[in-house]
Amino acid sequence: MHKVTLIPGDGTGPEIADATRRCIDATGVEIEWDIQSAGIDVMEEEGTPLPARVIDSVRKNSVAIKGPITTPVGSGFRSVNVYLRKVLDLYACLRPCKSYAGVRSRFEDIDLVVVRENTEDLYAGVEFESGDESTDELIRFVAMHDKGNIRKHSAISIKPISTVASERIVRFAFEYALANGRRKVTAVHKANIMKMTDGLFLESARRVAEDYPDVEFEDRIVDNMCMQLVQKPELYDVLVMPNLYGDILSDLCAGLAGGLGVAPGANIGDHAALFEATHGSAPKYKGLNKVNPCALILSGVMMLKHIGEEEAALKLENGVAAVIREGKDVTYDLKAYRDDPSAVGTSEMADAIITAMG
């Protein structure tokens, strides 16, 4: 019996989380779900969108699957999603982007995996506001050290890149490649311009690559990488990169494979793993039983693999693939026309996947 924390999330989260739990249970794997509510719905009662009990549960069980959680604009509370990754040190963001027959896309046979560093880079949130005393001080400090003249009243973000974080994310990418029979790892960077930060990332990647002689290694400059991905995606396999490039390229790759409805993801650390869809809480569809549950169900496939339930993972993935391929019992976004009246709801699509698994 596996123990897994289930965080339904808010917005459309609880609907897709329920669909996902039913599909995972239908594989026959025995899971004791520890259901932990979080997000805007618990704010009022518990005074925080992320009560300590949620983090305690993930720490205890080491594995969690989570529906999306809304980050209200300008409300003052920071992103629960980003905070969870930080507090649990989930340093690797894993986003497989794979074509499923029946998903409309300009591209076919996409099979890419984006491995994004999750803890540093411009995303670390070290920011200085325009006009602040500390910002002026920083501008003077930069000039004093002959590092250039930053315009007065600029805002500044700091980009920290460390050897420790770079090496561990690249090692994660190689270990993933080995464990999943992938042939190549490509490190993505802009080391020609950002010689210190991206230079250090690239150096770290080259060093780690030496420990994995059986997996091909190469590097690409990020702008070239974007062009290559839309021109010849078949040349690439596992892509590893710092946080910001990972944020952008994982959406690019999700787009190649057909969009957010089928884009799963995981945030993994040494002590815990949190599986979640790439998309957000789509609040305008809350309670309508309308959105596509597949991204979270496919995140469930990743979770099953992670806990060693390979056979169940394959069964569930095949069930999802069969329903999408048939194109009948699918949600509105997978139909040729978004107002197609034959589209089914979130829970009916889950029912179809359960039936397809036999």
- Alpha-carbon distance of 144 to 152, in angstroms, equals 15
Name the catalytic one among 98, 190, 290, 315: 190
Nearer to ligand NAD, 24 or 205 (CB): 24
Spatial separation of the C-alpha atoms in residues 88 and 59, rounded to whole Å = 8
Place of tokens 């973000």: 157
190 is catalytic: yes
- CB-nearer residue toward ligand NAD: 82 or 164: 82
The CB-of-256 to ligand NAD minimum distance in angstroms stands at 17
Q: In the complex with ligand NAD, which residue's Cβ is closer, 65 or 238?
A: 65
Q: Measured from the CB atom, is 103 or 139 closer to ligand NAD?
A: 103
What sign for the dihedral angle of Cα 40, 44, 49, 50? negative
131-150 CB burial, b ≥16 within 10 A, e <16 = eeeebbebbeeeeeeeeeeb
**CA 118, CA 246: separation in Å to the nearest integer?**
9
**Catalytic residue among 18, 34, 247, 251, which?**
247
**In angstroms, what is the minimal distance from the CB of 259 to ligand NAD?**
8
Q: Which is nearer to ligand NAD, 118 or 166 (CB)?
A: 118
Active site residue 339: no
CB closer to ligand NAD out of 34 and 251: 251
**Residue with the CB atom nearest ligand NAD in the bound state:** 280
Q: Can you tell me the distance from the alpha carbon of 358 to that of 101, in angstroms, rounded to the nearest whole number?
A: 20
Residue from 223, 270, 284, 340 carrying the catalytic annotation: 223
Decide if 80 contacts 39 (C-beta within 8 A). yes
* Amino acid in position 271: H
39: left (phi over 0), alpha (psi -120 to 50) or beta: left
Q: What is the closest distance, in whole angstroms, from the C-beta atom of residue 314 to ligand NAD in the complex? A: 23
Annotated catalytic residue within 91, 100, 123, 332: 123
Q: Is 223 a catalytic residue?
A: yes
Residues interacting with ligand NAD, by CB under 6 A?
A: 68-71, 81, 260-261, 276, 279-284, 291-292, 295, 333
Residue 191 or 334: which CB sits closer to ligand NAD? Answer: 334
What are the backbone angles phi and psi of residue 165, rounded to the nearest 5°? Answer: -70, -35
Q: Pull the structure tokens for residue 101.
A: 């027959």
CB of residue 263 to ligand NAD, shortest distance in Å: 9
Q: Are 54 and 7 in contact (CB under 8 A)?
A: yes
* Closest CB 67 distance from ligand NAD, rounded Å: 7
Residue 2: strand pairing partners = 31
Cβ 298 vs Cβ 314: under 8 Å: no
- Rounded least distance, CB 7 to ligand NAD, Å: 9
How are beta strands 2-7 and 31-35 bridged, if at all?
Answer: parallel
- From the list 303, 230, 261, the residue with the least C-alpha distance to 61 is 303
Residues that are catalytic = 123, 190, 223, 247
